[in-house]
């Protein structure tokens, strides 16, 4: 008797599991699942926060209309936000989790090249389209047909910084301080050195110093840099380190200018850096002050919703997500089979030739990299990032 | 010449933080033979406490920043000492009472450190805190050498703390009791010395100094994050070992030695090699003298 009860209980359990699974599947088929591989903790939490804010705004927009219209049918979106802790290995794990557990059709992120380069490999191997909003290192998309991005590349950004600094500071000697354990920072520093030395002759980069990600004291490097008497210091570093580097350089008596890169452009830079960063220049993806059209509309809505000016990461995440949505629509019809849908999205992404984003219009080359303009902004006395110059390829 | 003096000053400031943290490691080790791996995170907690105390005082009254600083120093030290004593009460004392092996207490300390880090992350979020400026920055310049008033304060604070601890341990009755416990934990209570009070006092001293270090660090490097104590804590521990852990002069010297080596390596070699070279040098020191510079093999410590 007992056995019968146990057996029937087991059968019941198995059945309820099966029903739950079928029910779960049939429910989930209704939604387009997109994953976000972003740094919500770790070295650059503000970057993850900005990405998530922009994504939430987009999600609310689309779902308020009943979903994304694909082939005449409206399908609601579902976004998964996973924290990669600003670490390379966690970014890979997050990518695998999104692909295998959540069954997403595409991944937005990671943002920083340090995470985007390894995670791009994972997505490519697992045949899942990935669009990095902010990564500028060429290796992220190189020979990876499944990986795309919304940002310009360091081989483009490097010369922009060199040309602008040469013109603005009348510089013939430069110093560089970069993060040796960050693909982005290291790659950009090397490109900058090459381009600057080609332009101003060998040895014109008078100091080329590095530091580690967790370092807080840069006085030894800065002493060396200041002593080599450069015309300006190029700092392709994340905003949190920039705040320390600029301050310590001032403490050591450096009164000259700095030139930064797009990793400076976080909404948190001025909170951490304060007066020391005012008057400095950096190259970036867009300038919020004085924007027009769709960009202005995005900025106003973001400010109304979150109470701060969206930084470049927020704008690029918006563009990256819209690229994916565009590809889903371009594919014609939504395929409930995740693998087929991923393939369809990849094909559609690779055939997008031109896209009008809020960070400027972009054309895609054969590597999946956009060709778009860069801007140089100046940090004014109120801490706003003001447009100084636009450079187009 | 200018570069040399500038780098000496840089190294003195950076070494001061290592020395201040290493002193906390060495005090607890000297008395309990316990490597308190949570000490680096107590330093981090000290920096956060200083942040909250300072912003609270700045917001509450119409104080001048220097008055806020004068109040923040003792408050931070007292509150951080409270954190250290709490850890001792809830984590180390029960294990000690049960006679657990030293190894388990060390593992417990590691766990406490992780709890402090991740507790902070869960409570306050990952976003960084900017420490308010409590001191009007003055930059003194001679030729190419620049030094801020804060740098001088940091260096003098490290020296003053060292002298104070050296005095307490060698010249006072409670210092004698500390040395006694380190010599024989089992015989000392029989002499009527309250062993628990002495151990609590040790944690008060060590954590209070970590609090001071946290405050000074937050003023010098005003970007706070939950993991800021981990790496500097490990390095200060290594400095304490190289100096001879358990010896106050050793911790002080080891801290400054590490600061000097790190800055020196960057000054001479490409900065990429800093940690590789710095720790190879420390390894060689231990190779020649495994007990550390001031360490004595298995006898009285502190």
pLDDT of residue A72: 85
Distance from CA of A246 to the nearest CA of B (A): 11
Residue A60 is predicted with a pLDDT of 94
User: Quick one: pLDDT at residue B62?
Assistant: 76
In angstroms, rounded to a whole number, what is the distance separating the alpha carbons of residues A344 and A339? 9
pLDDT of residue A5: 67
Cis peptide before A110 (omega within 30 of 0): yes
Angle (CA) A311 A251 A173, round 5°: 75
φ, ψ dihedrals at B115, nearest 5°: -65, -45
Question: What is the chain B residue with the closest CA to A50?
Answer: B127
Q: Are A131 and A120 in contact (CB under 8 A)?
A: no
**Chain B residue numbers touching A240 (CB-CB < 8 A):** 128, 223, 225
| Chain pair A-B, CB pairs under 8 angstroms | 95
pLDDT tens for A67-91 read 999 988 899 999 999 999 999 999 9
Q: A253 and B272: CB-CB below 8 Å?
A: no
Question: Cα(B2)–Cα(A227) distance, rounded to whole angstroms?
Answer: 9
- Is residue B131 a contact partner of residue B224, using CB atoms and an 8 Å limit? yes
pLDDT (0 to 100) of residue B302 = 60
- CA torsion through residues B37, B40, B46, B52, sign: negative
Among candidates A210, A214, A271 on the partner chain, residue whose Cβ is nearest the Cβ of B231: A214
In the 3-class helix/strand/coil scheme, how is B67-110 assigned residue by residue?
A: HHHHHHHHHHHHHHHHHHHHHHHHHHHHHHHCCCCHHHHHHHHH
What is residue A77's three-state secondary structure?
strand
Q: What percent of chain A has pLDDT over 90?
A: 69
CA distance B212 to A246: 25
- Tens-of-pLDDT digits for all 302 residues of chain B? 788 999 999 999 999 999 999 999 999 998 888 899 999 999 999 999 999 999 999 888 777 888 899 999 999 999 999 999 999 999 999 998 998 888 899 999 999 999 999 999 999 988 889 999 888 889 998 888 899 999 999 999 999 999 999 999 999 999 999 999 988 888 888 989 999 999 999 999 999 999 999 999 999 999 999 999 999 999 999 999 999 988 999 999 999 999 999 999 999 988 888 889 999 999 999 999 988 888 776 655 56
Phi, psi of A370, rounded to the nearest 5 degrees: -80, 150
Beta bridge partners of residue A148, listed in sequence order: A131
Q: Which residues of chain A have pLDDT under 70?
A: 1-6, 9-29
Helical axes B274-288 vs B248-268, angle rounded to 10°: 140
Burial class (CB in 10 A: 0-12, 13-18, 19+), B263: buried
Nearest to A253 among B128, B141, B228 (CB): B141
Q: Chain A 268-307, CB below 8 Å of chain B: which residues? A: 268, 271-272, 274
3-state secondary structure of A388: strand
Residue from A323, A325, A377 nearest A355 by CA: A323
Nearest to A180 among B221, B222, B272 (CB): B272
> Do residues A231 and A219 touch, judged by C-beta distance below 8 A?
no
């Amino acid at each position: 008797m007992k056995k019968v009860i146990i057996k029937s209980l087991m059968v019941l359990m198995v059945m309820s599991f099966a029903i739950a699974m079928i029910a779960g599947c049939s429910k989930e088929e209704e939604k387009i699942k997109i994953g976000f591989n972003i740094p919500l903790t770790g070295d650059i939490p503000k970057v993850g926060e900005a990405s998530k804010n922009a994504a939430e705004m987009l999600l609310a927009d689309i779902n308020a209309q009943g979903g994304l219209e694909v082939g005449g049918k409206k399908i609601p979106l579902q976004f998964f936000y996973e924290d990669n802790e600003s670490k390379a290995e966690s970014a890979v794990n997050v990518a695998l989790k999104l692909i295998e557990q959540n069954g997403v059709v595409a991944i937005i992120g990671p943002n920083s090249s340090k995470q985007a380069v390894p995670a791009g490999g994972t997505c490519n191997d697992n045949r899942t389209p990935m669009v990095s909003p902010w990564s500028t290192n060429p290796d992220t998309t190189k020979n990876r047909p499944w990986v795309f991005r919304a940002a310009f590349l360091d081989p483009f950004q490097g010369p922009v910084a060199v040309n602008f600094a040469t013109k603005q500071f009348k510089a013939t000697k430069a110093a560089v301080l970069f993060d040796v354990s960050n693909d982005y920072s290291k790659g950009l520093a090397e490109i900058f050195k090459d381009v600057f030395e080609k332009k101003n002759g060998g040895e014109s980069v008078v100091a080329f110093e590095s530091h580690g990600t967790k370092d807080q004291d840069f006085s030894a490097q800065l002493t060396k840099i200041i002593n080599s008497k450069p015309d300006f210091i190029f700092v392709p570093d994340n905003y949190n380190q920039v705040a320390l580097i600029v301050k310590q350089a001032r403490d050591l008596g450096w009164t000259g200018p700095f030139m930064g890169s797009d990793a400076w452009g976080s909404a948190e830079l001025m909170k951490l850096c304060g007066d020391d960063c005012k008057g400095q220049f950096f190259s970036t993806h867009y300038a919020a002050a004085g924007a027009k059209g769709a960009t202005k509309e995005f900025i106003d809505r973001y400010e109304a919703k979150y109470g701060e000016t969206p930084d470049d990461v927020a704008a690029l995440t918006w563009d990256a997500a819209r690229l994916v949505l565009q590809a889903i629509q371009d594919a014609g019809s939504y395929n409930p089979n995740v693998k087929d849908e991923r393939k369809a999205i990849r094909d559609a992404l690779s055939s997008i030739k031109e896209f009008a984003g809020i960070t400027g219009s972009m054309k895609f080359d054969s590597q999946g990299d956009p060709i778009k303009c860069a801007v140089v902004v100046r940090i004014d006395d109120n801490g706003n990032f003001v447009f100084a110059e636009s450079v187009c390829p | 010449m200018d570069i040399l003096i500038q780098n000496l000053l840089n190294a003195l400031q950076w070494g001061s933080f290592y020395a201040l943290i290493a002193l906390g490691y060495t005090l607890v080790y000297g008395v309990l033979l316990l490597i308190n791996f949570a000490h680096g995170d107590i330093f981090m907690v000290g920096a956060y406490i200083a942040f909250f105390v300072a912003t609270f005082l700045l917001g509450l009254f119409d104080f001048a920043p220097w008055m806020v600083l004068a109040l923040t120093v003792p408050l931070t030290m007292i509150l951080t000492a409270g954190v250290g004593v709490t850890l001792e009460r809830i984590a180390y004392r029960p294990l000690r009472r049960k006679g657990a092996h030293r190894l388990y207490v060390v593992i417990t300390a590691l766990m406490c450190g992780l709890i402090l880090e991740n507790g902070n992350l869960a409570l306050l979020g990952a976003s960084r805190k900017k420490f308010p400026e409590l001191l009007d920055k003055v930059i003194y310049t001679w030729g190419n050498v620049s030094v801020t008033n804060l740098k001088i304060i940091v260096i003098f604070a490290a020296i003053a703390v060292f002298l104070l601890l050296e005095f307490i341990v060698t010249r006072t009755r409670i210092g004698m009791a500390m040395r006694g416990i380190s010599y024989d934990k089992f015989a000392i209570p029989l002499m009527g010395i309250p062993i628990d009070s002495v151990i609590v006092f040790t944690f008060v001293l060590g954590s209070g100094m970590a609090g001071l270090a946290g405050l000074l660090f937050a003023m010098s490097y005003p970007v706070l994050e939950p993991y800021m104590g981990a790496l500097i804590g490990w390095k200060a521990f290594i400095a304490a070992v190289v100096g001879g852990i358990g010896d106050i002069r050793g911790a002080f010297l080891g801290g400054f030695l590490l600061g000097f080596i790190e800055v020196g390596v960057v000054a001479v070699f490409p900065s990429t090699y800093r940690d590789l070279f710095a720790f190879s040098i420390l390894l060689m020191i231990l190779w020649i003298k495994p007990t550390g510079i001031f360490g004595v093999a298995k006898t009285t410590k502190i």
